[in-house]
Amino acid sequence: MKFEKGKIYKAAMYIRLSKDDGDKVKSNSVTNQRDLICNYLKNNKDIILVSEKVDDGYSGVSFERPALMEMLQDVQDGKIDCIITKDLSRFGRNYIETGRYIEEIFPTLGVRFIAINDGVDTAKQQSISDTILLPFKNLMNDAYARDISIKTRTGLSVRQKRGDFIGSFPVYGYMRSPEQKGKLIVDETVADVIKKIFAMRIAGHNNDSIANYLNNTGVLSPLAYKESLNSNYKTVFKVNAHTEWNHVAVGRILTNEMYTGVMVQGKETTYNYKFKERIKVPKEDWIRVENMHEAIISKADFEIVQSVLQKDTRTAPNKEQVYLFSGFVKCGDCGGNLVRKVVKNNGKSYPYLICSTYKRDNKKCKSHLINEGTLENIVFEMLKKHIELLCNLEELLEEIKHLPLSQSDIQKCNKHLVSKREQLTRYNSLKVSVYEDYTDGILSKAEYIDLRDNYENLANQTEESINFLEQELANLIDNRYTHSEWIERFKEHKNITSLTRTTLTLTIDNIIIHQNKRVKINFKFKNEFEGSIKLLQAVTNNNELEGISSVVNNLIDGGDVLGA
């Protein structure tokens, strides 16, 4: 389109600044851009400035900028017909969009575009070289934005993998450390709220019940709490003006591994530097760094809650807690859940548990019917017995702590390790010897290569054996000394007088009901139990602790409890 000579243009100056684009604040400041454009206008009397549009803090890659969109609307409304910027990169760093506006849209609308430092003025006759260079300048601006984006992403990724927190706002329950950049510390004001949420879920309360309790007791929701701190917190989860607790907010806390001391980041990303729409990252690709901050919830309790969340735990009618055995009892034949069924007789209610598969179709399984009260008594007694056995186990483990290493499997492993290290030294010496024989002319080159490769293979195999034995020795020592924590979790329930949902959740994985009414209980910490038993069996086989054999056999029998 040809522009009229002598026409007076109504112009808008457009200014943009963004650290995301790598802008140098001093040279590209809003003030400097404004002064440059004003000086330009003094020498161009055919342009009248009617507005100023500033996007401070917006990347030039996206054209979804508030001031830019206002300016383009003014163009549509006929308020301006000239746009002035310091350079092309101020208008945009997306070469396709920038080129489309300058070469297609603005000429069609009769809009004059001026980029001062790049010598672009669409009202003036452009030389062939300028016409060719303009797309290349736009492309270079786009490439610069891409390069900055890659460097920024790489830098953030390095910090995430190092365990530094790079988010805008820490998760509810934590705050930024005032002393260490990128580190989180516990927010003691609300830490007890998080512990209460986990404890209530373990005790059998559902998410709605927990949310109601928090609202009724006047506990601020995470959003309300952040707003009370006068932070500029924003979230995509806010759906209305009421910032009370709800089941979704409770669920987010119950499934957030950050509360165990693990720094979890990288859950979302963008397609590339041009498209800022957030996309979910698969869980296996999240960036996880262990032990980066103080835990509010133990890993054991967190895993227990995750297990509970996977169970079928329907809340009892008109109650806020689930039934005692909800989600715990399985059919010994089909593996389905046993569900609660109430039988009424003479005005009395008798609760039973029945196979859910049988209830749907009695041809596919048997009933496995068992009285709820009877099952409660069996589980209670078996749990008491298991805790008693664990107390005996703890005493035995304490005794073998004092055995000298020469009398246990640990010493055997250690001797084997010493022998392997001697072998490795011998193989390395032989490699040196065959080289010396080769240089002395005793061995031919072919003989030397053959012997050298053979000794290298033997040395490599021996190194692998050493690594394995070192790990085995570490495991034996761990099993020997590290046992108290999981046993203590059971001992906390040693003096219970009745079976509660909390006790059940913390000590039992599941309960299997067989058709003959035999009950099998699978207790938690099965691997730790079996590891301790193996250690005791090793000691028993060496006859190192008098009278241990019979006790160990009782422990083994007690590890897989059956009740009639």
Both structure tokens of 562: 């059956």
Name every residue whose Cβ is closer than 8 Å to that of residue 419 and which is 6 or more positions away in sequence.
none
Q: In this predicted structure, what is the pLDDT of residue 128?
A: 45
Q: What is the mean pLDDT of residues 540-556?
A: 49
Name every residue whose Cβ is closer than 8 Å to that of residue 322 and which is 6 or more positions away in sequence.
204, 206, 313, 314, 315, 316, 501
Both structure tokens of 318: 């008109």
Q: What is the CA radius of gyration of the chain?
A: 37
**CA distances to 80, 339, 351, 358 from 354, in Å:** 78, 5, 10, 8
Q: In this predicted structure, what is the pLDDT of residue 127?
A: 52
Q: In this predicted structure, what is the pLDDT of residue 563?
A: 44
Q: What is the mean pLDDT of residues 291-319?
A: 82
pLDDT at 548 over 50: no
Which SS3 state, helix, strand or coil, does residue 84 take? strand
Q: What is the pLDDT of residues 48-87, one digit of tens each?
A: 999 999 998 888 888 889 999 999 999 999 999 999 999 8
- Range 320-323, long-range pairs (CB < 8 A, 24+ positions): 320/205, 320/206, 320/208, 320/209, 320/212, 321/203, 321/204, 321/205, 321/206, 321/209, 321/501, 322/204, 322/206, 322/501
pTM of the model: 0.56
The angle at the Cα of 106, spanning 100 to 111, to the nearest 5 degrees, equals 160
For the chain, the structural domain boundaries read: 9-151, 174-310, 398-493+528-558
CB 353 within 8 A of CB 332: no
Confidence of residue 111 (pLDDT cuts 50, 70, 90): very high
Q: In angstroms, rounded to a whole number, what is the distance separating the alpha carbons of residues 542 and 409?
A: 9
Mean pLDDT score of the chain: 81
Distance, CA of 148 to chain centre: 27
Q: In this predicted structure, what is the pLDDT of residue 48?
A: 93
Q: In this predicted structure, what is the pLDDT of residue 561?
A: 44
The three state secondary structure string of 345-365 is: ECCEEEEEEEEHHHHHCCCCC
CB 353 within 8 A of CB 375: yes
Least confident stretch, 96-100, 166-170, 182-186, 396-400: 396-400
Place of tokens 């820490």: 170
Both structure tokens of 234: 């924003």
Assign domain 174-310 one CATH number from 3.90.1750.20, 3.20.20.120, 3.40.50.880, 3.40.50.970: 3.90.1750.20
Q: In angstroms, rounded to a whole number, what is the distance separating the alpha carbons of residues 99 and 92?
A: 9
Q: Which amino acid is at 80?
A: I
**CA distances to 180, 421, 423, 469, 476 from 465, in Å:** 42, 9, 11, 6, 16
Q: In angstroms, rounded to a whole number, what is the distance separating the alpha carbons of residues 147 and 156?
A: 14
Q: Which CATH superfamily is domain 9-151 in?
A: Resolvase, N-terminal catalytic domain (3.40.50.1390)
Both structure tokens of 463: 């190194």
Could you give phi then psi for residue 277, rounded to 5 degrees?
-65, 130
Both structure tokens of 339: 């569900």
pLDDT at 515 over 90: no
pLDDT at 303 over 60: yes
Q: In this predicted structure, what is the pLDDT of residue 152?
A: 64
Which SS3 state, helix, strand or coil, does residue 284 take? helix
Strand extents, DSSP E, 276-432: 278-280, 287-289, 329-331, 338-345, 348-355, 370-371
Q: In angstroms, rounded to a whole number, what is the distance separating the alpha carbons of residues 187 and 176?
A: 9
**CA distances to 23, 135, 138 from 132, in Å:** 26, 7, 11
Q: In this predicted structure, what is the pLDDT of residue 479?
A: 55
Least confident stretch, 33-42, 133-142, 489-498: 133-142
Q: In this predicted structure, what is the pLDDT of residue 246?
A: 92
Ordered alpha helix ranges (H), 125-221: 128-162, 188-202, 207-216
Q: Which amino acid is at 294?
A: E
Same fold, 9-151 and 174-310: no
Q: In this predicted structure, what is the pLDDT of residue 279?
A: 79
Structural element, H or E, at residue 10: strand 9-17
Among 460, 480, 470, CA closest to 528: 480
Q: What is the pLDDT of residues 191-229, one digit of tens each?
A: 999 999 999 999 888 888 899 999 999 999 998 888 888
Q: In angstroms, rounded to a whole number, what is the distance separating the alpha carbons of residues 56 and 486?
A: 56
Q: In this predicted structure, what is the pLDDT of residue 560?
A: 44
Both structure tokens of 521: 């209980």
pLDDT at 370 over 60: yes
Q: What is the mean pLDDT of residues 263-274?
A: 74
Q: What is the pLDDT of residues 406-419, one digit of tens each?
A: 445 666 677 777 88
Q: What is the pLDDT of residues 398-455, one digit of tens each?
A: 776 665 544 456 666 777 778 888 888 888 888 888 888 888 888 888 888 888 888 8
Q: In angstroms, rounded to a whole number, what is the distance separating the alpha carbons of residues 190 and 197?
A: 11
Q: What is the pLDDT of residues 120-177, one digit of tens each?
A: 888 876 654 455 455 656 566 666 666 666 666 667 777 888 888 888 789 999 999 9
Q: What is the mean pLDDT of residues 262-290?
A: 79
Q: What is the pLDDT of residues 308-343, one digit of tens each?
A: 888 756 666 666 678 889 889 999 999 999 999 988
CB 113 within 8 A of CB 106: yes
Least confident stretch, 378-387, 519-528, 538-547: 538-547
Q: In angstroms, rounded to a whole number, what is the distance separating the alpha carbons of residues 286 and 267?
A: 6
Percent of the chain with pLDDT over 90: 31
In terms of phi and psi (left: phi > 0; alpha: psi -120 to 50; beta: otherwise), the region of 110 is: left
Q: Which amino acid is at 199?
A: A
Q: What is the mean pLDDT of residues 243-263?
A: 92
Residue length, the chain? 564
pLDDT at 294 over 80: yes
